[in-house]
Amino acid sequence: MPPDSHRELARPARADWRAAAIAAGSALLLAGLYMALLYAPEERTMGAAQRIFYVHVPAAWVGFLAFAVVCAASVGYLGTRRRAWDLTAHASTEVGVVFTTLAIASGSVWGRYAWGTWWSWDPRLTTTFLLWFIYVASLMVRAYGGTGTQPSRFAAVLGIVGFLDIPLIYLSVLWWRSLHPLPVVVGAEGVGSGLHPAMLHALVVNVVAFTILYVILVSLRREQMVVADRLTARAGRSGVRAGAGEVAG
Amino acid sequence: MSALRAVGLLVGKDLVLELRTREMLSAMGVFALLVTVVFTFAFSPAPGQAAAVAPGMLWVTLIFASLLGLSRTFALEREERCLEALRLFPFDPALIYVAKAASTLLVLLAVEALVVPALAVLGGVSPGRAAGPLAVVLVLGSAGLVASGTLFSAMSVHTRMREVLLPVLLLPVAAPVLLSAAGATAQLLAGRPLAAILPGLRILAAFDVVIAVVGSVVFEYVLEE
Amino acid sequence: MHAIQTRDLVKAFGPVQALRGVTVDVPDGEAVVIFGPNGAGKTTLVKILAALMRPTAGRVRLFGRDPWQDPSLRRRLGVVSHHSYLYAGLTAMENLVFAARGFGVDTPDRRAEVLLEAVGLWERRHDLVRTFSHGMVRRLSIARALVHDPPLLLLDEPFVGLDRSAAALLTALLGRMRGSRTLVLTTHSIEQGLALADRVVILVDGAVAYQGLNGFPDPGAAERLYADLVGAHR
């Protein structure tokens, strides 16, 4: 392979805006870290442990944002059959699962200090956990879903059904489980209301930083997939027809 | 051909095939009873606790039994690619989804009619006046399981990991069914009136409707190649 | 009038292209045979023509209309695939009546009886398909494809798995339909295909390598052309 065809394969499509985003995102992440650890005042009842809040909330936000993007991209894919939509959905699912995992883990640590237990079946935690299962299943469908466009179509269907399911899951956990009052859940709601302005600043900076991080990760992952596609297509053209024969019958 | 006649044709075919072998009926029925026995061994509830354990037991049992049935619904279409043949019929593929869900629901309800009374006896629970409202909960819950399960069954049947994939897809998505149906059953057995749990049942009904509508719309994308 | 018109059909399975711009015209009433080695895209093409598979790009017209816009076009289309499309747990009669009803045939029972007689399965009409031999299943599946009397019949590798006598029966059956129906048949057997073809299409690696009327002086000439086209690609 001639040296410049490497460059052609890996040619970054929108390197300029991404380089800027990476710079801005890194600066914001550092600022967010500083604000979370030093700028925001210590919370009275929970102490330093409360600072996990500046990771937990942005991670949960990005998780939900990612799955909203998955749903929109899935509709786009089924409507247009453009591979671009499918790649966006796939990349966003992967990144969303990572951030949701982070949100659940940090939420669990939070719960340890707020409620004295690593896990409570609080409606939001439960919904997030089920969400995590749905999107992990979606990645499984992509991995084991068969040949051709089938994994993409199945994952798109799950991306739509799963997203519409979120409010239903949340409502049913909320309604059916609060019927027998749980011992320790109530405290969770109070956090947002009486927030110190400095806490709010730290939170906003972190949410923005995490969102930029999400956009960068999805864009990088998407580009990797585009390159992988080109390589597969190239392998197909240069005589490796086994894979094609299988799908085309 | 009208939509109703198309669905009738497909459901009729499914029921003839099922009644000839009674594969799903017998497999699901025996399995449900067996799971109940296993549960009772595992939890060995004291006589007074039966009512606390029974609702959860009932719905876990029904979910497992319906997984068994759902994994079979498209199996008979798979062998000779009959699903492809159904798509060659000149009607909307959404009707294939509706018909499959309807015939599976009929079989599941038949299994429940046989098994639920037996479960009540084995679990030491007597529904008494709650029997009517419980039937409503059974129908709503089963409809939710079948509406989502038919979609995922059509997906998993075309993959290598079909036995594993179906529960992995169905259980998290159908979480509202388990929560609502088990919750409602517990409340009804505890003697609360249907009116008291109506808001919760509305969530279950909303799940049924949302999934059935979305399922009909997206089903053609599941089938196409 | 063309029964089939395709323009620049492309089908990509993810990054792999199974069809790379296929343009085929089939006049009404003609018999077209599509030759090609395994993996050439024959099955993909048939599935796209049957509107079972959506093309990634390009368009298909059946009798001048878009099959994805107009599901009623399916009434004019019969498909014989590698699979029988039959339920093993139903009888021969039940299978045909089910298919006839699905296509909205006016007198499904009468139509099923006529076809059972035509393919020589009258005596066995009330037996479950499960008890049928391979050749009988094949005959019944052809009857099933004809149940709504479609003017266009697509056959994907119909000779695969048939013994000599069943293949002869199929050739005779298809021979009788020539002229009255449009036939599209895929095969990798030159000999069996040429016997039925008005027009020949050779598909290699997802593209049309040859398209023309069946005017070969002898089967050997077609064999040589086919070997050249396939070999040139390799």
- pLDDT for residue C230: 81
CB B94 within 8 A of CB B216: yes
List chains touching B (3+ CB pairs under 8 A). A, C
Query: Does the beta-carbon distance from A169 to B199 stay under 8 Å?
Result: no
Q: How many beta-carbon pairs under 8 angstroms link B with C?
A: 64
Contacts of C206 in chain A (CB under 8 A): 244, 248
Distances in whole angstroms, Cα of residue B108 to Cα of each of B24, B103, C51: 9, 9, 33
The answer for residues whose C-beta is within 8 angstroms of residue C148's C-beta and 6 or more apart is C75, C78, C99, C100, C103, C104, C105
Which of the four pLDDT bands, split at 50, 70 and 90, describes residue A10? low
| Conformation bin of residue B91: beta by default, left when phi > 0, alpha when psi is -120 to 50 | beta
The yes-or-no verdict on residue A3 having pLDDT over 60 is no
Q: Are C153 and C80 in contact (CB under 8 A)?
A: yes
Position A238 confidence tier, pLDDT thresholds 50, 70, 90: low
Q: Residue C152: phi, psi to the nearest 5?
A: -125, 125
C13 CB within 8 Å of a chain B CB: no
Q: What is the pLDDT of residue B162?
A: 78
Q: How far apart are alpha carbons B212 and A113 in whole angstroms?
A: 42
Six-digit token string for C93: 């009669």
- The closest CB to that of A172, out of B179, B222, B224, belongs to B179
Tens digit of each residue's pLDDT (9 = 90 or more) over C110-147: 999 999 998 889 999 999 999 998 888 988 998 999 99
- Averaged pLDDT of chain C: 88
pLDDT given at position C126: 95
What is the predicted pLDDT for the residue at C224? Answer: 83
pLDDT class for A248, splitting at 50, 70, 90?
A: very low
Identify whether the C-beta of residue B69 lies closer than 8 Å to the C-beta of residue B104: yes
Q: Quote the tokens at residue C118.
A: 């035509």
Under 8 Å between Cβ of B16 and C101: no
Which residues in chain B have Cβ-Cβ distances shorter than 8 Å to C81? 81, 84
Q: Is A149 close to C44, i.e. CB distance below 8 A?
A: no
Judged on CB neighbours under 10 Å (0-12, 13-18, 19+), B33 is middle
- Asked if C222 contacts C194 with a C-beta cutoff of 8 angstroms, the reply is yes
For residue B225, the 8-state DSSP code is -
Adjacency order of strands within the sheet including C199-204: C77-80, C152-156, C182-187, C31-35, C199-204, C207-213
pTM: 0.88
User: Which residue in A144, A156, A179 is closest to B160 by CB distance?
Assistant: A144
Q: Give B123→chain A minimum CA distance, Å.
A: 22
Give B83-95 pLDDT, tens digit per residue.
Answer: 999 999 998 899 9
Q: Does A196 touch chain C (CB under 8 A)?
A: no
Q: How many CA atoms lie within 13 A of A102 on its CB side?
A: 21
A23 has pLDDT over 50: yes
CA distance C22 to C6: 7
- Predicted confidence band of residue A182 (pLDDT cuts 50, 70, 90): very low
From the list A145, A146, A176, the residue facing B179 with the nearest CB is: A176
Calculate the CA C232 to chain-centre distance. 27
A248 touches chain C (CB under 8 A): yes
Q: What pLDDT is attached to residue A181?
A: 40
| Rounded (5°) CA angle C51-C55-C61 | 55
Share of chain A above pLDDT 90, in %: 41
Residues B71, B152: Cα–Cα separation, whole Å: 9
pLDDT in tens, C145-183: 999 999 999 999 888 877 777 788 788 888 888 888 999
User: CA A131, CA B211: separation in Å to the nearest integer?
Assistant: 16
C199-204 and C207-213 beta bridge pairing: antiparallel
Chain C contacts of A148, Cβ < 8 Å? 13-14
What tokens does B83 get? 């699903």
- Put simply, the chain C residues between 201 and 220 with a CB less than 8 A from any chain B CB are none
* B88/C101 touch (CB, cutoff 8 Å), yes or no: no
DSSP chain C: -EEEEEEEEEEEETTEEEEEEE--EEETT-EEEEE--TTSSHHHHHHHHTTSS--SEEEEEETTB-TTT-GGGGGGEEEE-SS----TTSBHHHHHHHHHHHTT-SSHHHHHHHHHHHTT-GGGTTSBGGG--HHHHHHHHHHHHTTT--SEEEEESTTTT--HHHHHHHHHHHHHHBTTBEEEEEES-HHHHHTT-SEEEEEETTEEEEEEES--SSHHHHHHHHHHHHHHH-
Task: Dump pLDDT digits (tens) for B87-140.
Answer: 999 988 999 999 999 999 999 999 999 889 988 888 778 877 888 999 999 999
Q: How far apart are the first and last CA of chain A?
A: 31
pLDDT tier, C94 (very low <50, low <70, confident <90, very high otherwise): very high
pLDDT for res A243: 40
Residue A4: pLDDT band with limits 50, 70, 90: very low
- Interchain proximity A232–C44, CB inside 8 Å: no
Cross-chain Cβ contact C13/A147 below 8 Å: yes
In chain A, what is the greatest distance between 2 CA atoms, to the nearest angstrom? 69
Residue B80 has pLDDT above 90, yes or no: no
Asked if A172 has any chain B CB less than 8 Å from its own CB, the reply is yes
pLDDT digits (tens, 9 = 90+) for B193-203: 888 889 889 99
Residue of A nearest to C13 (CA): A148
Q: For position A220, what pLDDT does the model report?
A: 93
Q: Which residues of B touch A (CB under 8 A)?
A: 148, 151, 155, 158-161, 165, 168-169, 171-173, 175-176, 179-180, 183, 187, 199-200, 203-204, 206-207, 210-211, 214-215, 218, 221-222, 224-225
Say if residue A164 is exposed, middle or buried (CB neighbours under 10 Å; 0-12, 13-18, 19+). Answer: middle
C1-54 pLDDT tens trace: 789 999 999 998 767 788 999 999 999 999 999 998 888 889 999 999 999 988
Nearest CB neighbour to A175, from listed B172, B200, B221: B200
Q: Which of B15, B18, B77, B80 has the highest number of chain C CBs within 10 A, making it the mutation to test binding with C?
A: B80
According to the model, what pLDDT value does residue B128 have?
Answer: 79
- State yes or no: pLDDT of A179 exceeds 60: no
Residues 107-166 of A with CB under 8 A from C: 147-149, 152
- The residues, ordered by sequence, that sit 6+ positions from C233 with a Cβ below 8 Å of its Cβ are C204, C205, C209
What value of ipTM does the predicted structure carry?
0.91
* Band of pLDDT at residue A245, cut at 50, 70 and 90: very low
Pick B172's closest partner by Cβ from A137, A144, A150: A137
Residue A139 CA to residue A85 CA, distance in Å, equals: 16
Nearest neighbour of B155 by CB, restricted to A157, A164, A165: A157
A120-165: pLDDT as tens digits: 877 888 889 999 999 999 999 999 888 778 899 999 999 999 999 9
Q: Yes or no: say if B77 and B89 are a contact pair by the CB < 8 Å rule.
A: no
Nearest CA in chain B to A78: B221
Distance between CA atoms of residues A20 and A27, nearest Å:
11
String of b and e for A104-125 (b: at least 16 CB within 10 Å)? Answer: bebbbebbeebbeeeebebbbb
Distances from the Cα of C100 to the Cαs of C14, C110, C233, in angstroms?
36, 10, 44
Chain C residue nearest residue A153, CA to CA: C14
